[in-house]
């Protein structure tokens, strides 16, 4: 049986499972509950903070039919209906994820927009998710402007980017923009603790603190580093092993140097 990396195994499947993005979750949940739905969303933020995850949960919320098939638009997708399961598995025909880094030309965008005139095949909405949208060429951006401004009622755009400065203002003005923040180290630490408990992997608190700092705000990086640390430590996480893997310097050295400087003790500074 093939191993599924932690970053994919523990990808959130509902808004309440999201970590560290409460401001985005609250706004989207309220909009879905009140059915005040915008036609285009732009999610910005550094790598590994949940842009694609939010997009998939939003697509499920828009298309969920509930366990009995009678549900409507909801902020809490059931996860068991055909639409929810198919979106999670990446085979929902009305949810299209396009990687703009490798499909940046006007031809690819035009081909996508040509399909926009057709109603959803199985879902309530068509959702077009364009990842790394800042990589699109100027002609590709221009080609999508009209459809992005006035799409059919059954079509929703979700754009994601790590570099919103490169997105034309004509596109920004047509989207509802959400900035996903880098994760706080304490949020990463809390989530890593839960994941390792679920995986039955023994871990020292100091090792988890090192991993949470090394992730630099990215939950995906934190889980990838944890995968590496588990392999390095042969199934357990010890602080000394993680420090060796990361090449981290013990902060105690820095503290001792600062203490010596504050005390104007030149000999102690040199010794440290």
Instruction: Give the CATH number for residue 167.
Output: 3.40.50.300
| Residue 1 maps to a domain | no
| Residue 259 maps to a domain | no
Q: Write down the pLDDT at residue 184.
A: 92
Same domain, 93 and 61: yes
Same domain, 139 and 223: no
Q: Write down the pLDDT at residue 269.
A: 81
Same domain, 89 and 189: no
Q: Write down the pLDDT at residue 254.
A: 77
Examine the pLDDT at 163 and tell me if it is beyond 70.
Answer: yes
Of the chain, the percentage scoring pLDDT greater than 90 comes to 80
Give the pLDDT mean for 215-225. Answer: 94
Examine the pLDDT at 108 and tell me if it is beyond 70.
Answer: yes
Examine the pLDDT at 258 and tell me if it is beyond 90.
Answer: no
Cβ atoms of residues 25 and 18 within 8 Å: yes
Q: Write down the pLDDT at residue 199.
A: 93
Q: Write down the pLDDT at residue 58.
A: 96
Same domain, 205 and 166: no
Indicate the pTM of the whole model. Answer: 0.87
Q: Write down the pLDDT at residue 3.
A: 83
Same domain, 139 and 197: no
Examine the pLDDT at 195 and tell me if it is beyond 60.
Answer: yes
Under the phi-then-psi rule, with left for phi > 0, alpha for psi from -120 to 50, and beta for the rest, what region is 153? alpha
Same domain, 175 and 236: no
| Residue 100 maps to a domain | yes
Domain carrying residue 100:
6-179
Count of domains for the chain: 2
Instruction: Give the CATH number for residue 213.
Output: 1.10.8.60
* Short-list 4, 44, 1, 41, CA closest to 195: 4
Report which secondary-structure segment, H or E, holds 131.
Answer: strand 126-131
C-alpha dihedral sign at 210, 211, 212, 217: positive
Cβ atoms of residues 212 and 219 within 8 Å: no
User: What value does the mean pLDDT of the chain take?
Assistant: 91
């Amino acid at each position: 049986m093939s191993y599924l990396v932690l970053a994919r195994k523990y990808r959130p499947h509902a808004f309440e499972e999201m970590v560290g993005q409460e401001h985005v979750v609250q706004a989207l949940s309220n909009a879905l509950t009140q059915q005040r739905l915008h036609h285009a969303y732009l999610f910005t933020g550094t790598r590994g903070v949940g842009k694609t995850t939010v997009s998939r949960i939003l697509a499920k919320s828009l298309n969920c039919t509930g366990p009995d098939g009678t549900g409507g638009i909801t902020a809490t997708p059931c996860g068991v209906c055909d639409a929810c399961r198919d979106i999670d598995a990446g085979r929902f025909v009305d949810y299209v994820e396009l990687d703009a880094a490798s499909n940046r030309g006007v031809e690819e965008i035009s081909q996508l927009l040509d399909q926009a005139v057709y109603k959803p095949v199985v879902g309530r909405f068509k959702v077009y998710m364009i990842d790394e949208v800042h990589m699109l060429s100027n002609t590709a951006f221009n080609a999508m402007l009209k459809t992005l401004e006035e799409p059919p009622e059954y079509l929703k755009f979700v754009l994601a980017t790590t570099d919103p400065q490169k997105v034309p203002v004509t596109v920004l003005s047509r989207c509802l923009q959400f900035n996903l923040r880098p994760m706080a180290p304490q949020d990463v630490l809390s989530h890593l603790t839960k994941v390792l408990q679920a995986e039955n992997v023994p871990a020292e608190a100091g090792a988890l603190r090192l991993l949470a700092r090394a992730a630099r705000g990215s939950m995906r990086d934190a889980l990838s580093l944890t995968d590496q640390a588990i392999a390095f430590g042969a199934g357990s996480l010890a602080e000394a092993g993680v420090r060796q893997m990361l090449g981290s310097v013990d902060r105690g050295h820095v503290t001792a140097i600062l203490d010596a400087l504050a005390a104007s003790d030149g000999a102690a500074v040199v010794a440290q």
